Homo-oligomer: A and B are copies of this chain.
Amino acid sequence: MAQENDSFTTVEKSLHEHLPAEEKSEVLRILYGKPSPPLTIPQSAIDLAQERNFELASYTLKSLAATEQTRLPRLVRIGAIQNQILLPTDKPVVEQREALFKRISDIIEVAAQCGCNIVCMQEAWNMPFAFCTREKYPWSEFAESAEDGPTTVMLQELAKKYNMVVLSSILERDESDVLWNTTVVISNTGRYLGKSRKNHIPRVGDFNESTYYMEGDTGHPVFDTQFGRIGINICYGRHHPLNWLMFGVNGAEIVFNPSATVGNLSEPMWGIEARNAAIANSYYTVPINRVGTETFKNEFTSGDGKPAHNDFGHFYGSTYVASPDGTRTPGLSRTLDGLLVTEVDLNLCRQVKDKWGFRMTQRLDMYAKELAEAVKPGYKPPVIKG
């Protein structure tokens, strides 16, 4: 991709400021779908966000859904949190983690004031994204039990206190010391509901993360919570349409995509992939990316011919919500910590299925057969020579 500019905040701000009114409405319609009206939130939340120095943006997409005769609206407020790390990466592991616990607790408190029913943080939110270093220590020490590690225990308290489903992406260490990239799902009662492991591992740029953890073996579970049916497609899995698809087949209404990705690698794809998934699968998607540049003590190389260095680029944030009807919200900033609060009506998922019919026209039986053939050794694709 072309060279990014770390200080540029968001595309949406630029469009709003510079386009003349009559063209702006067309540009925004074509690029963003229907409008994302502001959602009114308490002044106390706005004040607290300012005081704590993070962006707070709030939208309501509830008017995208029609009123039904036989179901009440199913309004849910989704909180998506993006953040920088806080301490230098050579500080003790526990100190780094504790600082992030404090920061995220502070943001979740504001999410609660905004009435969020579900919150999700970015990928591996409780640690620096150190997989570029290829060093096993101290980074593997951030790995912990999904079920009762310190991060899960800390969040269970908050989930219960705020009556909020919490999705927490961590580096997981299981009982036999296999590591996984895992999202823990905590119910709004504070109960550990289960986990979803990252299915697809990058082998790109600075990362072959299979150095650290295994390809997920949990398939495509859907968590049927009080606030909707939730799936989690972690980071690089957003490049894989089949990963998104199986969560849809299994009934998800919201699929989160906790991520960690940098501008020069993936930014032009960011607005495309999760949004395409929302459209194709008639569910909401919530791609979340960290922000900031993370520096490591020991230099490393990136297989790109450049000299050894201590960071691998700028995480561009830009967290947003995409709706099954093709609409998306503006993104959070490319540079600041932020909380994105989005009110949605889950009824829209079924309404879009009824309108567009993608599930009914999907011909999964045909693809099950074609894929079963395609994965056989010696598969001969149907190629017509010309």
Contacts and interface: CB of A to CB of B under 8 A. Distances in A.
Interface of A: 1-2, 4-5, 8, 11, 14-15, 18-20, 23, 25-27, 29-35, 165, 185, 187, 191, 193-194, 199-204, 215, 219-226, 229, 236, 239-242, 244-246, 249-251, 266-273, 275-276, 279-280, 325-327, 355-358, 360-368, 370-372, 374-375, 381-386
Contact of A239 (B5, B223, B280, B371): B280
Given A29-B4, A326-B272, A239 B358 contact: yes
Copies of this chain: 2
Chain B CB count within 10 A is highest, among A215, A240, A267, A386, for A386
A386 B226 contact: yes
Given A203-B361, A220-B370, A384-B224, A272 B276 contact: yes
A31 to B, nearest CB: 6
A370 B276 contact: no
Contacts of A276: 241, 272-273, 276
Nearest to A358: B239
Given A219-B370, A371-B368, A371-B371, A386 B187 contact: yes
Contact of A240 (B251, B269, B280, B327): B280
A243 B25 CA distance: 33
A143 to B, nearest CB: 22
Nearest to A357: B203
A245 B372 CA distance: 14
B18 A23 contact: yes
A242 B11 CA distance: 31
A164 to B, nearest CB: 12
A279 B271 contact: no
28 contacts: A1-B29, A1-B326, A5-B26, A14-B23, A18-B18, A18-B20, A30-B270, A185-B384, A199-B363, A200-B361, A200-B363, A219-B382, A220-B382, A222-B381, A239-B356, A240-B358, A242-B362, A246-B370, A246-B371, A250-B381, A268-B327, A272-B326, A273-B276, A273-B280, A364-B371, A365-B375, A368-B371, A368-B375
